[in-house]
Amino acid sequence: MPPSADDQPPNPGFDLAAMIESELGAPGDALRLHERYINPSVAAVLRTIGFDANYVRGEGAYLFDDQGRRYIDCLGGYAVFAAGRNHPVVRDALRQAMELDLPNLPGVGVFRTSGLLAKRLVELMPGAASDMSNPLDTVFFANSGAEAIDAAIKHARIATGRRGLVYCHRAYHGLTMGALSVNGNQEFREGFGPLLEHAQEIPFNDLGALEAALEKGDVAAFIVEPIQGKGVNIPAEDYLSRASALCRKHGSLLILDEIQTGLGRTGRMFACEHFNAGGGPGQWTPDIMVLAKALSGGYVPVSALITRRWIHSRVFPSMSHCARVQTTFGQNDLAMAAGLATLHVLEAEGIVENAAEIGGYLTERLREKLAGFQMVREIRGMGLMIAIEFGPPRSAGLRVGWELLHKLDASLFCQAVIMPLMSDHRILAQVAGHRLDVIKLIPPLVLSREDADEIVGAFEATVRACHQFGGPAWEVGKKLGAAAMKRFVPA
Ligand SMILES: Cc1ncc(COP(=O)(O)O)c(C=O)c1O
């Protein structure tokens, strides 16, 4: 008989902390390993833009480096840390799951925890509390956002018997070949073709273009983010509800990608709730909702596709077709535990409400402090998904610098803002996409008012410096431009 867990020696000779200590003891060790074994181009970028801090710990909305310096994390691991980094309840849930010695991944067998998370997700869906017909009430689990998007494409094609896919300019749904086929950013697509056929790009927030695409009658699904991550583009208030009605009229499904916006990011549990989604009269719901990122608690990758039963039944219509969309780790216990604990924490600690309150406060304060600067075009956002958009200056001197930087690289201006935010203020942020003058803030949703004030102060100082032509920010830009010309290829 194999020994039980209790019979195992407590220390089997593996000590992760000791390994980290001995192999990553000196500053730069972790980056050197990354450079040698993972991606030297990324390492070069990190060094060039000064994002090579040696982080040793994360907590809530903060990262800490080996010098004990604290950074406010407005990048949030690309929006996975809704509950904050290393949330003690999520961490404890994972510890509990491990100590239960669960019969993880039985393969052909009854999974122990996935039904629990599926039930919670179904209960949370827009309209679930009403007695609407055809609610979103079945769940498929996968590991990453893109993988669930691929599954959504498969669901839509099988359920409708059609091939066509319609997606938006600037859409980002991930980078697997299926998801890439509905990606509206040329930079990500280049060189990887041929991608899926029958996929058509239309402008975002354009109902006429959508109707023209759907009218042909061959479209399986329109796939859309409620707020686009690339650029933080917010549609008109009635865009999604009218898009849903158009899909219904033309027999196409609406796939709503809430991978980035879902689970509290925008100050509601789902962003579509800002746009009249629900089960009441005159309200709408998507046919397929896709979640990922925050569901992981920032610990264990997981994604979920939630759909109506009739769609699910067409994908899995019989015993012989019961598993034709699947993935080995799809319902693993640690991911399920992370998801259950994250949902618990979001509700128990009022984190969604905090995102609404602090997000609103931060947006207003940024508007107040940055409004007078001629290169600041707009501050927009919902909850803690916020964009600071820049535009060409009026004054001739600044305009020369603006045009020079844009000639070198269309994303460079914002990069030149982000670098001093990091080096002088230890605020971690990102450019919102290729060829955009937009900085995006997607911090953990536990951000405090004091953090928000610190972020505003840092932006004010940095943006002020950018408005002094020839000042340090422009030097940064020029240096970056030279590096960009070398395409960040390391020596
Ligand atoms: C809206 C949206 N959809 C899909 C994805 C892809 O998710 P993943 O990177 O987990 O594949 C992302 C990732 O940034 C996203 O923001």
Q: Which of 78, 80, 173 to mutate to test the pocket of ligand 1 (most atoms within 8 A of CB)?
A: 173
303 CA: nearest ligand 1 atom: 10
Give 8's pLDDT tier (boundaries 50, 70, 90). low
State how many domains the chain has.
Answer: 2
Q: Regarding beta strands 253-257 and 62-65, do their DSSP bridges make them parallel or antiparallel, or are they unpaired?
A: unpaired
Q: Is residue 124 part of a domain?
A: yes
* Pocket probe mutation, ligand 1, options 78, 167, 293, max atoms within 8 Å of Cβ: 293
Residue 205 lies in a domain: yes
199 & 135 share domain: yes
Condensed to tens digits (0 to 9), the pLDDT of residues 50-100 reads 999 999 999 999 999 999 999 999 999 999 999 999 999 999 999 999 999
pLDDT at 472 over 80: no
Report if residue 46 sits inside a domain.
yes
Q: Is residue 160 part of a domain?
A: yes
Residues 456 and 367 in one domain: yes
Q: What pLDDT, on the 0 to 100 scale, is given for residue 490?
A: 36
Distance CA 82, CA 88 (A): 13
90 in any annotated domain: no
Ligand 1 centre to CA of 79 (Å) is 9
Kindly state the average pLDDT of the residues 429-442: 95
Instruction: Name the residue with higher pLDDT: 488 or 254.
Output: 254
Q: Are 240 and 232 in contact (CB under 8 A)?
A: no
- Report which protein residue has its CA nearest ligand 1's atom 6: 174
Q: Identify the CATH number of the domain in which residue 59 sits.
A: 3.90.1150.10
Would you say residue 110 has pLDDT above 60? yes
Q: CA torsion, points 71, 357, 227, 58, in degrees to nearest 10?
A: 20
Q: What are the phi and psi torsion angles at 198 (to 5°)?
A: 65, 30
Residues facing 62 on adjacent strands: 59, 72
Q: Which residues, judged by CB distance below 6 Å to any ligand atom, belong to the binding site of ligand 1?
A: 78, 144-146, 149, 172-174, 225, 229, 257, 259-260, 292
Tokens of 474: 């422009």
Q: What is the pLDDT of residue 410?
A: 86
Q: Of 286, 318, 348, at which residue does a domain stop?
A: 348
Nearest to 241 by CA among 289, 285, 290: 285
Residue 8 belongs to a domain = no
Which domain range does residue 465 map to?
A: 19-83+351-485
* Residue 200 shares a structural domain with residue 54: no
Q: Please tell me whether residues 217 and 245 are part of one structural domain.
A: yes
pLDDT, tens digit, 9 for 90 and up, residues 18-59: 999 999 988 899 999 999 999 999 999 999 999 999 999 999
Show which of 297, 331, 348 is a domain's final residue.
Answer: 348
218 lies in some domain: yes
Q: Output the pLDDT for position 437.
A: 96
pLDDT of residue 6: 58
Q: Are residues 246 and 113 in the same domain?
A: yes
pLDDT for the residue 397: 87
Alpha carbon of 97 to ligand 1 centroid (Å): 27
pLDDT tens digit string along 149-191?
Answer: 999 999 999 999 999 999 999 999 999 999 999 999 999 999 9
Q: Give me the pLDDT at residue 489, please.
A: 39
286/152 same-domain check: yes
- Enter the pTM of the model: 0.95
**pLDDT on residue 482:** 73
Q: Are residues 364 and 332 in the same domain?
A: no
Q: From start to end of 113-226, where are the E strands?
A: 136-142, 164-168, 199-202, 219-224
Residues 253 and 362 in one domain: no
Q: How far is the CA of 177 from the centre of ligand 1 (A)?
A: 13
pLDDT of res. 432: 94
pLDDT value at residue 125: 98
Q: Which of 348, 367, 401 is the last residue of a domain?
A: 348
